[in-house]
Amino acid sequence: MSAVTREAVEACLRQFTDPHLDQDPVSAGCLREVDIQGARVSVRLELGYAAGLFKNGWAQMLQMALENLDGVDGARVQVDCVIDSHQGQAQVPALAGVKNVIAVASGKGGVGKSTTAANLALALAREGARVGILDADIYGPSQGIMFGIAEGTRPQVKDQKWFVPLEAHGVQVMSMAFLTDDNTPMVWRGPMVSGALLQLITQTAWNDLDYLVVDMPPGTGDIQLTLAQKVPVAGSVIVTTPQDLALLDAKKGVEMFRKVHIPVLGVVENMAVHICSNCGHAEHLFGEGGGEKLAAQYGVELLASLPLSMAIRMQADDGKPTTIADPESQIAMIYQDLARKVGARIALAGKPAMPSIEISED
């Protein structure tokens, strides 16, 4: 029986691609320790993104591969998730209690941006991350409804300076809607809204968040630019539908983030296809392949493509978005995959990988 070497272990690991990083664990810098004790091998990997629902299956797959290596009698693979802080734009100070800010934006309203933001936040929490969501859609705040927070609920104030975010489904939630009357429209000019939102963001006592998802207002005007320039955003997600008009506005969103040097992590395409509940016929009501074309044009990834589904709408209206209401459904799994991909893209754009450690009996 030949002796097991580190080279053989690494070569084995290189045969498998992490579907969220699009790299093998060695090339992605996830390998932290290789311990070879005779015919027994122990490996520790470290993922830079939340992957609680993925890591055990990933570890088992790699373990089985290592146990098939010549000279290996037993193998153990440990996969940890360690989420680091990744700075946003230069000269923009970090937010207290927040490691990474994710902006969810759209060029126009009505494309499902807020629903995507809510499910993304909940999916990240299901993967084991500490998550908050800020409803920055000042003219049409909806996160309170989506998270099932009763109308008229107000946040507590700490030390006469900090708003304490509300909590729902394990996610910290803050919205301007919690400070105003739900039935009174916000008739404010752009500078007033920008100032109020910045105050809300910086004076909320976020409690040790791995990710803060910001549900941005639709469009690319003064409010969006102010937020993009004043909030340290680690990456942005653009939400669109396949419709040509929506894609035209989504392109403006991509360009806006690029101008303020915020990475565009990818595109989410909503209402991609409708499946008839009676006959099962699939029909592309709003066009086909628009999100994929947009992603290809700007060299970013199509992170997810979601169907036009009554269940998504009804569950959000009921205060339990799909990720919580039906966590084992196919649509929920799409949101979980989206969450892991978003976290992985932030990790890839962040700090360089730590060197791995080798331990052997000689």
Domains of the chain: 6-82+352-360 (3.30.300.130), 98-327 (3.40.50.300)
What's the confidence (pLDDT) of residue 352?
45
Neighbour count for residue 282 (Cβ, 10 Å): 10
Structure tokens at 301: 């990834």
Asked if residue 111 belongs to a known ligand binding site, the reply is: yes
Nearest Cα to Cα of residue 195 among 186, 184, 208, 182: 186
What's the confidence (pLDDT) of residue 246?
63
Strands 131-135 and 209-215: parallel
Asked if residue 319 belongs to a known ligand binding site, the reply is: no
Q: What angle do CA 324, 319, 325 make, to 5 degrees?
A: 25
Asked if residue 108 belongs to a known ligand binding site, the reply is: yes
What's the confidence (pLDDT) of residue 295?
76
What's the confidence (pLDDT) of residue 147?
95
- Annotate 240-252 with DSSP letters as a single string: E-SSHHHHHHHHH
What's the confidence (pLDDT) of residue 355?
46
CA distance 301 to 293: 10
Asked if residue 343 belongs to a known ligand binding site, the reply is: no
What's the confidence (pLDDT) of residue 280?
56
What's the confidence (pLDDT) of residue 149?
93
pLDDT digits (tens, 9 = 90+) for 64-73: 999 999 989 9
List the chain residues with pLDDT less than 70. Answer: 1, 90, 181-191, 243-246, 273-291, 350-362
Asked if residue 293 belongs to a known ligand binding site, the reply is: no
**Residues linked to residue 135 through DSSP beta bridges, in sequence order:** 175, 215
In whole angstroms, how far apart are CA 160 and each of 135, 156, 163?
22, 10, 8
Report the predicted TM-score, pTM, of the whole model to 2 decimal places: 0.90
The number of CA neighbours under 13 Å toward the Cβ of 228 is 26
What's the confidence (pLDDT) of residue 167?
96
pLDDT digits (tens, 9 = 90+) for 40-71: 999 999 999 999 999 999 999 999 999 999 98
Residue 48, classed as helix, strand or coil, is: coil
What's the confidence (pLDDT) of residue 115?
94
Nearest Cα to Cα of residue 321 among 303, 334, 304: 334
**Residues linked to residue 162 through DSSP beta bridges, in sequence order:** 158
Asked if residue 109 belongs to a known ligand binding site, the reply is: yes
pLDDT digits (tens, 9 = 90+) for 102-112: 999 987 777 88
